[in-house]
């Protein structure tokens, strides 16, 4: 019997146009609002890093000593004890060695 063409179907207009548009708009808004909110969060995800970076630059601008090799304590260390930068004694005292401490799960 189901080879036959249907004799009945749903009335396509059982929902009023006003209700159809209201539900359609609510559906689209429900999908669009979280997407907009998420896009905003994604776009602003690095704001705190940028703010921190700007703060460091600002500190740098007003600092009395802006480069490490002009640091008076470092100058004094080389003059009175360490010899020259990258020298043998400084290398032994100040440089460290790499040790691989990575623990892989697989």
Q: Judged by CB under 8 A, does residue 104 bind other proteins?
A: no
Contact (CB, 8 A) for 85 and 78: yes
CB of 57 to other proteins, least distance (A): 24
* Residue 70 DSSP label: G
Nearer to other proteins (CB atom), residue 4 or residue 64: 4
Contact (CB, 8 A) for 72 and 83: no
Nearer to other proteins (CB atom), residue 31 or residue 51: 31
Closest CA to 94 of 77, 71, 69: 77
Interface residues for other proteins in 7-66 (CB under 8 A)?
7-12, 14-15, 19-20, 23-24, 27, 31, 34-35, 38, 41-42, 45
């Amino acid at each position: 019997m189901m080879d036959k063409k249907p004799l009945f179907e749903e009335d396509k207009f059982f929902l009023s146009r006003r209700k159809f548009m209201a539900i359609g708009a609510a559906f689209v808004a429900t999908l669009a609002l979280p997407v907009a909110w998420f896009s905003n969060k994604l776009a602003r995800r690095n704001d705190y890093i940028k703010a921190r970076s700007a703060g460091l630059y600002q500190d740098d601008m007003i600092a009395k000593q802006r480069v490490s090799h002009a640091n008076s304590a470092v100058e004094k260390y080389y003059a009175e004890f360490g010899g020259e930068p990258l020298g043998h004694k400084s290398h032994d005292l100040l440089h460290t060695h790499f040790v691989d401490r990575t623990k892989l799960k697989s």
